[in-house]
Amino acid sequence: MSLESTSSNRSFGGWHKQYVHTSRTLHCNMRFAIYLPPQASETNKVPVLYFLSGLTCTDENVMQKSGAHRIAAELGIAIVAPDTSPRGDSIPDDPEGAYDFGIGAGFYLNATEAPWNRFYHMYDYVVKELPVVVESHFPVSHVKAITGHSMGGHGALTIALKNPEAYKSVSAFAPIANPMNVPWGQKAFTNYLGEDKKSWEQYDSCELIKKAEGHLPMLVDQGDADSFLEEQLKPERLQAAAEMAGYPVEIRMQPGYDHSYYFISSFIEDHLRFHAKYLLD
């Protein structure tokens, strides 16, 4: 599979690079970014932290705003940031142009309803296709962890809970913790998956954590001044489900922080060091 380089920037002794490739899973061209720390070489393959972004975002938000490169360079960890959905003129979008569904809002699931089911398979893209592309073209190992923000936090948690053997650890910033019971998730799940709510459970962290057979180290940060906290995010439900299942998770409520990248950049170092304990073990 060929990659087209679209940008390359030196950063903290390493390199931030963007690439475009043709995705067989999503049937369109997809862009992703990778930060390679200075330790990465053909004789020293480094582990990878995947970062899944939220609604309306692309790979650029975390790479440009979070300040993650400095700590990743110190620790010797690569960061891979995919886009949040398929994109292109042929990709179906929300007919009303809403930000919370369609392009930019793939919800990291495999759609089963037409017309979304031909393109919107972000779960398979993140879990299966993208790691093969990354591990085939860059000096990185198969050792990986996953994190994300908001919709991407939902994606990180559900993907890790469904694939505990594939990841060393998981974390999230302000995740949509119980999407099948909040407006963002209900809109997306109805359109992508249909009316049968039983099928929604496979992409809901609160449901998945109750059935989890393997336990991964899990860290969640949430700002208590987040405007989406009460209506859309529901971290207290994740906490309750984890306690019921005996699943160890650290959920930290951060006073005064909102949903923005000011919040993420304030705690990204904590998350990178958290993952490093397991990626570099």
Residue 7 a catalytic site member: no
Residue 100 a catalytic site member: no
Residue 41 a catalytic site member: no
Integer Cα distance of 167 and 48 in angstroms: 10
* Catalytically annotated residue among 150, 169, 171, 205: 150
> In Å, how far from its chain's centre is CA 170?
10
Q: Which CATH number fits domain 3-280: 3.30.70.20, 3.40.50.720, 3.40.50.1820, 3.40.50.150?
A: 3.40.50.1820
Mean pLDDT of 92-116: 97
* Catalytically annotated residue among 149, 205, 226, 271: 226
pLDDT digits (tens, 9 = 90+) for 2-55: 899 999 999 999 999 999 999 999 999 999 999 999 999 999 999 999 999 999
**Domain range annotation of the chain:** 3-280
Report pLDDT for 213: 87
Residues paired with 51 in a beta bridge = 147
* Catalytically annotated residue among 149, 154, 259, 271: 259
pLDDT digits (tens, 9 = 90+) for 226-248: 999 999 999 999 999 999 999 99
Nearest Cα neighbor of 185 from 263, 106, 124 is: 106
Nearest Cα neighbor of 145 from 12, 248, 266, 272 is: 272
Integer Cα distance of 133 and 170 in angstroms: 21
Q: Could you give the 3-state DSSP secondary structure of residue 183? A: helix
Mean pLDDT of 248-276: 98
